[in-house]
Amino acid sequence: MKLSILPVTLAVLVMLMAYPVWAQNDQARGQAETSVLDTIVVSSSRTEEQLREVSSSMTIIDQKELQKYPEQRLDQILQREGFYVNSYPGQDSAQIMIRGFKNDSYNTDGGLTGNILLLVDGRLSGVSNIARLTKVNVERIEIIRGPAALQYGTSALGGAINIITRRGEGDFSAHVEVGTGSYSFHDQLAGFDGRYGPVDYSADFYHSSTGDFTDAKGRHMFGTDDKWIYTGGLNVGYNFLDDRHRIGLTVNVFNNFAQGIGGSVGTGSSTPENGSVNTLDLKNQSFDLNYTGKDERDFLSWQLRYFHTEEYRKYYYNYVTPTRNRHDPNVTTYGPYDTTINGVQGQVSAKWNMAEITAGFDWTRYLTDDKGANYAPSPKIKHTDKAGFIIGKLRLFNDKLILNGGVRYDTFNIDIEDKPSSNPDAWTPSFGLVYLPLEWLKIRANYSEGFHLPTPNQLSRDTFDNPPTRHFMGNTDLDPFTTKSYEFGFDLIRDYWNINFTYFHSMYEGQVRSMLSGEVDSNGYPIEKFYNASEATTYAGLEFGSSFNIGGQLGWSFDLEPYIQATHFTTRRAYREATRSYEVDVEIPDWLVNYGINFAYSEQNLSANINAMYVGRARLQNWSRVNRPNIGYQNYFFADSYTVLDFTLSKRLISFSDDKHKVTLNLAIRNLFDKYYESRVDYPGPGRNFYVNIRYDFN
């Protein structure tokens, strides 16, 4: 089947297969039909609301979905949930994309460079690299597709990913996992949660290590090992006055020590002399103190939070002797690069029968310090954001029609060491509507705007390439870049069927790019500068998905659920200033299709999943200009599509004392057919590999 006719074929299949379901009029199943739309979410309006009242497209990955995957890293989980993740395999460096907007996977700037905002409980996580976030102590993940500047400000051009931490409840429970797999991979997880009187608590601690992996061609990818990764999460709170008030503390830690930075087959960094002797250290840590409360009538509710995040990175290079002894005189260090964020959030919400309104403020300060960027450290930057917002909702015609929207105003102060300060500002509106003609059908439309401040690197960069041939310089005259986006679609959730469809269109104006300026520095090196593009970049396309529980519909004793989630770009057009022409933007596949089958047999405590990820043709840049088959040394080329298949299985082995003690076996076979693929040019993914773990739960 050609992918060009896939949307039409899927639409026909959906209608044919759904007809016998829709033709039934069994009101006894009404509650099952609407349960998903009744899901409570918090990311879209920064307060609790039902998913049925949200006008933008959202993806919810709940605890059941999270536990389906044995992986801990969010980039691996989101990739199998239908999102495009572009990674440097073996380097814990991953770039997530939503609707054409991407995050940098390697910068250490507290998330400032990203176009997808990564949040923890609604506040900044302090990172752009999705691989530095895990499901440790996570209850669910809420993903807004499309600009989320109204709610969260800068850097949310393509959307926001909000990680909701687990909050303890009920009696004490605990869990332990021990796993092993291919490439000398080992990991361990331990956690507990519960509530004692007014105190709720939840915590997880995770550790892993791995050796170098092998690609599907049998090549040893030197320098793709991790000596030591640990991550942990804690959420503890004190509840009082009939649980209407809570004071909480949340802590998250990520530490990656001696991460290899090899893995390239084109530049030679996967040889024993190169890849195995270059490493880096990565650290992320954050905490927040928060207070939530509401009155006795549930009319007013309020939140107040202070948070602090730190991000740190340091490189260790050795070009002479094959050793990882960091005291060797031949080891060269770059960094550290670090960013500290302090912030305060406050808001008040009022709820009437027909209307709701939330008003609040955000205050955020970034301190960026780059002590070693390629021959010349960049100046320190202090970046302060003061913002106010108001978000409202109106229900009409017996709650069949819902209008929502709001506006946000941000004002910034950017102080760059030894340079004049600047004070940009931004207004960002958003509005949408939801029409609910039936209990199981939601029709939605949304318009939103986003903005992105120039990053510290774009404003103040003063570095050279290696060996030095060009001088890269920042530009303090850059303007913020913006996006205007609209979407419309529907969600249908009836009986055992789930269908969603969205058309989206975004205009990306003033995008910051770099180009040779025609000037030279005092040493005669040509100067390359950043600039605002004079023409807009456009992303448009379709998102659609469907799942159908055949076993549930036919009354079988087990669930059998085929599913598909796809994104097709009809437009991915960027303007190239150097040639004054439009071109297909890089690193955006024309198709991204995630499909498979879920199987669950609850009587036997057995579940399984087989998942295929199809990545279509994408225009890529050959950064290292290596000689590629059928391409030669071209700078830009179109990469072939590929499909990777994964299999997971979970089986309860032992259960006793009325299910208070449970032992479960989890198995994963990744890249089942040993497919060779490159998510990054010259960085192949691992070949077929295995993972198995044993989990013990005490309830």
Beta bridge partners of 135: none
Rounded to an integer, what distance in angstroms lies between the CA atom of residue 85 and that of residue 317?
27
| Residue 431, both tokens | 């509005």
Rounded to an integer, what distance in angstroms lies between the CA atom of residue 306 and that of residue 647?
42
Asked if pLDDT for residue 616 goes beyond 80, the answer is yes
Rounded to an integer, what distance in angstroms lies between the CA atom of residue 383 and that of residue 154?
12
Rounded to an integer, what distance in angstroms lies between the CA atom of residue 564 and that of residue 17?
14
SS3 label, residue 193: strand
Sign of CA dihedral 255, 259, 263, 267: positive
Using the CB atoms, write b or e for 545-582: b if 16+ within 10 Å: bbbbbebbbeeeeebbbebbbbbbbeebbbbeeeeeee
Asked if pLDDT for residue 1 goes beyond 50, the answer is no
Q: Name the least confident of 115-129, 242-256, 367-381, 525-539.
A: 367-381
Residue 596's pLDDT is what?
A: 95
The per-residue pLDDT for range 562-606, each reduced to its tens digit, is: 999 999 999 999 887 777 888 998 889 999 999 999 999 999 999
**Percent of the chain as helix, strand, coil, to the nearest 5:** 10, 55, 35
Rounded to an integer, what distance in angstroms lies between the CA atom of residue 368 and that of residue 340?
7
Q: Greater confidence, 262 or 537? A: 537
Q: Which residues contact 418 (CB under 8 A, 6 or more apart)?
A: 379
**Residue 603 burial (C-beta neighbours within 10 Å; 0-12, 13-18, 19+):** exposed
Q: How far is CA 57 from CA 35, 43, 407, in A?
A: 17, 12, 19
Residue 163's pLDDT is what?
A: 95
Count of Cβ atoms closer than 10 Å to residue 638 Cβ = 13
Rounded to an integer, what distance in angstroms lies between the CA atom of residue 12 and that of residue 10?
5
* DSSP notation for 646-688: EEEEEEEEEEETTTTEEEEEEEEEESTT----EEETTEEPB-S
> Pairing between strand 581-584 and 441-452?
unpaired
Q: Name the least confident of 437-446, 455-464, 498-507, 685-694.
A: 455-464
The per-residue pLDDT for range 163-210, each reduced to its tens digit, is: 999 999 999 999 999 999 999 999 999 999 999 999 999 999 999 999
Outline where DSSP puts E strands in 421-558: 425-438, 441-452, 462-464, 471-473, 481-494, 497-509, 512-520, 526-532, 537-548
| Residue 489, both tokens | 């679609």
Compute the C-alpha angle 587/590/593, nearest 5°.
105
Asked if pLDDT for residue 20 goes beyond 60, the answer is no
Q: What is the CATH number of the domain that holds 313?
A: 2.40.170.20
> Pairing between strand 159-165 and 116-120?
parallel
The H or E element that residue 151 is part of is helix 149-152
Q: Greater confidence, 21 or 149? A: 149
Q: Count the domains in the chain.
A: 1
Count of Cβ atoms closer than 10 Å to residue 612 Cβ = 17
Alpha-carbon torsion angle 294, 298, 300, 305, nearest 10: 30
| Residue 51, both tokens | 């998913």
Domain of 69? 3-698
Amino acid at 78: L
Please identify which residue in the block is written with the tokens 């998913």. Answer: 51
* DSSP notation for 34-83: HTTTT-EE-TTTSS-EEGGG--S-EEEE-HHHHHH----BHHHHHHTTT-
How remote is the C-alpha of 450 from its chain's centroid?
17
Asked if pLDDT for residue 160 goes beyond 90, the answer is yes
Mean pLDDT estimate for the chain: 87
The model carries a pTM of: 0.92
- Terminus-to-terminus CA distance in the chain, angstroms? 49
Task: Decide if 170 contacts 199 (C-beta within 8 A).
Answer: no
> What percentage of the chain exceeds 90 in pLDDT?
57
| Residue 362, both tokens | 């955000």
Edge-to-edge strand order for the sheet containing 471-473?
462-464, 471-473, 526-532, 512-520
The H or E element that residue 31 is part of is helix 30-34
Asked if pLDDT for residue 22 goes beyond 70, the answer is no
DSSP state of 184: T
Asked if pLDDT for residue 136 goes beyond 80, the answer is yes
Q: How far is CA 530 from CA 219, 323, 522, 584, in A?
A: 38, 38, 19, 20
Rounded to an integer, what distance in angstroms lies between the CA atom of residue 151 and that of residue 162?
12
When pLDDT is cut at 50, 70 and 90, the band that residue 320 belongs to is low
Asked if pLDDT for residue 465 goes beyond 50, the answer is yes
Of 137, 61, 69, 62, nearest to 667 by C-alpha is: 69
> Pairing between strand 526-532 and 471-473?
parallel
**Residue 255 burial (C-beta neighbours within 10 Å; 0-12, 13-18, 19+):** middle
Rounded to an integer, what distance in angstroms lies between the CA atom of residue 491 and that of residue 470?
51
Rounded to an integer, what distance in angstroms lies between the CA atom of residue 572 and that of residue 539?
5
Task: Decide if 110 contacts 124 (C-beta within 8 A).
Answer: yes
| Residue 6, both tokens | 């896939």
